[in-house]
Structure 1
Amino acid sequence: MAKFDENDWTRLTDMTMKARPDALELNLSCPHGMGERGMGLACGQNPDLVRGICKWVKAVAGPATPVFAKLTPNVTNIVDIARAAQEGGADGVTVINTVSGIMKFHSDSTPWPKVGKDNLSTYGGVSGNTIRPMALKAVSAVANALPGFPILATGGIDSADAGFQFLQAGASGLQVCSAVQNQDFTIIEDLVSGLKAGLYLDNRNNGWDFQSEPTPKHQLGKPVKSSASLPQNIPHFGPGLEQRLITWQQDCTRTDGIASIEPTLPPKEQTAVQKPPPSVQNMIGRSLDKVGTYGQLNNKEQVVLFYLLLITPQVVAVVDADMCINCGKCYMACSDSGYQAITFDNKTHFPVVTDDCTGCTLCLSVCPIPDCITMVERQIPYVPNRGVSPLPPIPPSRDHLESPSQ
């Protein structure tokens, strides 16, 4: 790391090459006081500086030693910086370094972390799984814009699952720091074995999400199974719970005890053709064709009805009555932050999704029970209700039709 000075960079590179490194990583992104000194972040935010530094270093390192530029996310468009590194001769980029931020202010107004008796702080680099969404965005953006350009991903890789996500986003390799600091180096063994297991499970095509099996139907962690003898949306508390227990006992008697263990039995897996597990190379960039611009999203299927623009296909929320814990979280979120499309039954405490649902997924996001709410395709046209009657299109006035010369 140095300022934008050719002598400094070539000297550092020459000194490092004497130690016979496997590769070089250029710190063009450190936010910890380096920007004020013209180094790190200050260099990495300017494409021209990045291009020049990579050119200087690569000229000394030679073709046999890979050179990677570590990029900062604290820029408007990280793809421009990655492209500049490529144009400067870098063999790849490391994406991303830490995100500039400040962690906390205590109630006595002092920040954390703080330095000295003056209790001063400054903007530093936030790292760990907090920045994973930003890192995934940056990695996939660079991979889509520069196909085949090697990317070392870093930023929130704290599990094999997280590493698997970065590979699918286009990363060629993975870097881990915060997770090691939180644990120790043995976590690398967990990541390696976890990735191997994930590759094996991915090949089975059994509905698992990496190492997570499909969510079984449950009520507060206990397996449940719907009974045809029960009314729809009967609650799991009060008289409803009593009725469920009576019905369950009747089902157990009728089935000679089978009903008592049936909910705990794992689903039968379909026999699949055994294939060798895929390699890591097969996973790299597998998700890139599913990431694009907003204009590429499938929201162009439009129908005009009575001057209203109807967008299809659209999804709506469906609540699983067996898994719902009747907390009302979805109802509150939709009522105050959504489209008031969920009603709450006073007796059963069960949320009912009405036809006003727009498919925004806010209820799914706040629901504390995984997979209790799912999104399914709307079966009827959606007519927006803005609280006022829609008006027909206003024809253009003659003033707009006349040319300025008239």
Structure 2
Amino acid sequence: MQEVAEAARDSYTRIVATLIRVTGDWTLAEDCAQDALTAALERWPRDGVPANPGGWLTTVARNRAVDVLRRAAVEESKLREVAMLWEPAPPDDRLRLIFTCCHPALSLEARVALTLRTVAGVPTAGIARAFLVSEATMTRRLTRAKSKIAAARIPYRVPAGEALAERLPGVLAVLYLLFTRGYDADGEPAFADEAIRLARLLAALMPAEPEVSGLLALCLLQHSRRAARRDEAGELVPLERQDRARWDHAAIEEAVEILARTPVEGAYAIQAHIAACHAGERTDWVRAARWYDELARVQPTPVVELNRAVAHGYAYGPEVGLGMLAKVEGAPEGYVLAVEGDLRARAGEEGRAAELFMRAAAAVPDGPERRALLKRAQPPASP
């Protein structure tokens, strides 16, 4: 039922976050939230959608938690938890939940999986498919992550001051990894949508943090191209060959507006400005090259240097790009070969380019990227 799905998107995280804060029991919180959704699926088609769907779900979940705790209320502390469920919730419960799920004491994989399950409400089976494991295995991993939070006494709070500055990049990294797991050629598209939704939530809760807004703008710009990234056969279409009329221009406009009011203080905002260079009728490669220079200053990684060589090669000629590429060290071999092949092709060295594309294809896993490289290695069709 669509109304239940919409209410779940709006309220699930808030319900789970509040119940975890009060009870400290992750399983109870998730079970009660799921029970409320099940009740909505049963009752709303019969009784009609309530005027305040989110409030209805919250009340049902809270009542369910009260019932469970009352049955277990053999200690005064449990009785206090029952009373706390009826107190007004502080406004930062969802922030507390996000920062707890993304705590650095957990492995990166556990942080992503726990964020998907607890914050985004993605079913365990869907998370298992993304991680290429069985549902039972993913259930055990999620259980271990929750147990570690309890055993390590990880605080259920938003850090402040210097601690916030230290922890926020890790939270953003989890959200961006979640986005890329949906945006990648063989990813789960729904995960990209969830990452954008969570980035919106974080931006609304932390409006004074420029990198949060930068991450949201970056995800919106990249995801705006999703409809044009594959052809009718499902194969990848390079950026320069995509039908830009099929891009989500409303998302592009939103991202550009966000960037216009966001100070550039970190890598996500810079990457968003680079993505914005592609958003017009044609790519502004000169501006992109300048932004890549800035990105290389704050994030001097081999992959950034590789992309910087691409941008300069398109902005100032393939010879410039090849000169910069020769200085790149440590980037994945397949990507280096693919970039050199592209620059050689633009320089008119078609035979050399084809050889490089073949070698690049052999260096990447089987999938859409390899097929795209093999296609580029073929001579152009005769007119």
TM-score by structure 2 length?
Answer: 0.28
Structure 1 or 2: more strand by fraction: 1
Higher-Rg structure is 1
